[in-house]
Amino acid sequence: VASLSTSTSTGLSSANSSITSLSTSTSTGISSLSTGLSSTNSSVTSLSTSTSTGLSSANSSITSLSTSTSTGLSSANSSITSLSTSTSTGISSLSTGLSSTNSTIVSLSTSTSTGIGSLSTGLSATNSSVTSLSTSTSTAINAAKTHYYSVNDNGTQQGNYANDGATGINSLAAGTNASASGASSVAVGDGSNAQSDGAVAIGKNALATGGKAVSIGVANTASGDGAVAIGDPNVATGTGAVAMGANNTANGNGAVALGNANTASGDGALALGNGSTAAAAGSLAFGSNAIASNVNDVALGTGSITAAPNPTSGATIGGVTYSFAGANPTSVVSVGAPGAERQIVNVAAGRISATSTDAINGSQLNTTNQALNSLSTSTASNISSLSTGIGSLSTGLSSTNSTVASLSTSTSTSISSLSTGLNSTNNNLTSLSTST
């Protein structure tokens, strides 16, 4: 039989001879159509059907196979040189049905024009001389190519290999072992981990665990809402904490450590420089190895060290006790250390009053010294007259031991008591006068 044709089914289970053309077709009313062939063992060179071939394998010299839906082939082991599958409309899934090609298939093509939601060649492996493999569509296929993006895992499959590192909604994970579990979080780099909503972790083993925290660099840790750690490696813990540079630690809300090996511990603490330490809330340490030890202390300059404040309420001078303003300091500002003191220069003049807590500069102290140098108890030359308003007047001398030649006290009015104040005279006092 050289030609066999039927409008429904051939009823053949096998074709073992020289059938060179086999065709089945229908125009209306057929819901299922099959050639009925399970295998071809001889010289069928062309096989065509409008629904399904019904073939499970092709073992001989079929050189052309075409169908409008699915080929039904699981393997092609011989000399099929062309395989085509096509449809025009209404197909939601299209597959060639091939799982492997072991011989001389040189062209494999699948195409559609509209309405295809899924398109696959069906091949899992190609073992021989397939030189062309094509899958195409004009509409309704979501396909995109990626360029200028690469990850080198050194030949070892690691975490995120299956693109499963981004588990948070709208998150992004790129790189080996990268994990973005917070919503809208970003993790980029080997072992990077963005755990909270809006967190960003970029770099090897970068960790961002607080809401909207940012960790950039190798092994940086940012833990706290808005915390920032940038460099290699730094730790920022607390809302708004910032650690930048190398080996810095900022631990506290708003704590800041910048430079190298600085530590800011406590809310609002600030450490800048190299090896500086702000050890309490609100403390400030500026400079290499500066240490601000207590709450709100300030250490200014390399090696500056603070200590506990020393309250000073007043002092006694010449038997008279004086009280001071600012008698209860709460913290200390240090510009040096024992054995490494510094001068404070270019200080403006401070206010002088009983309540002033301003710093006093050298020129103000010089004025005081000048006033003390001109003070005299001489009544003969410096007190010429006391005319009014004096209830009691005394020279204040208890003895004269030298060459006082004249001592005089005088007044004109309103003096109820007048005394020279002398208990004894031991030398050449030649004149003593008291009058009123």
pLDDT in the model for residue 303: 98
Instruction: State how far the alpha carbon of 166 is from the alpha carbons of 20, 148, 237, 245, 275, in Å.
Output: 57, 21, 24, 29, 38
Considering only CA atoms, give the Rg of the chain.
Answer: 51
Whether the Cβ atoms of residue 94 and residue 120 lie closer than 8 Å to each other: yes
pLDDT in the model for residue 371: 87
Give the pLDDT band (50/70/90) at residue 83: low
Answer with the residue of higher pLDDT: 326 or 95: 326
pLDDT in tens, 248-302: 999 999 999 999 999 999 999 999 999 999 999 999 999 999 999 999 999 999 9
Give the pLDDT band (50/70/90) at residue 179: very high
Query: pTM score > 0.85 for this model?
Result: no
CA dist., res. 424 & res. 419, Å (int): 13
Share of the chain above pLDDT 90, in %: 50
pLDDT in tens, 317-351: 999 999 999 999 999 999 999 999 999 999 999 99
Q: Give pairs for 210-214: CB < 8 Å, separation 24+.
A: 210/239, 211/182
pLDDT in the model for residue 372: 84
Task: Say whether 372 sits in a helix, a strand or coil.
Answer: helix
pLDDT in tens, 340-394: 999 999 999 999 999 999 999 999 999 989 888 876 544 344 444 444 445 555 5
Whether the Cβ atoms of residue 108 and residue 95 lie closer than 8 Å to each other: no
CA dist., res. 66 & res. 79, Å (int): 15
Instruction: Tell me: pLDDT of 75 over 70.
Output: no
What's the rounded mean pLDDT across residues 417-430?
A: 56
Give the pLDDT band (50/70/90) at residue 149: confident
What's the rounded mean pLDDT across residues 58-79?
A: 51
How confident is the prediction for the chain on average, in pLDDT?
75
What's the rounded mean pLDDT across residues 236-251?
A: 99
Instruction: Tell me: pLDDT of 182 over 60.
Output: yes
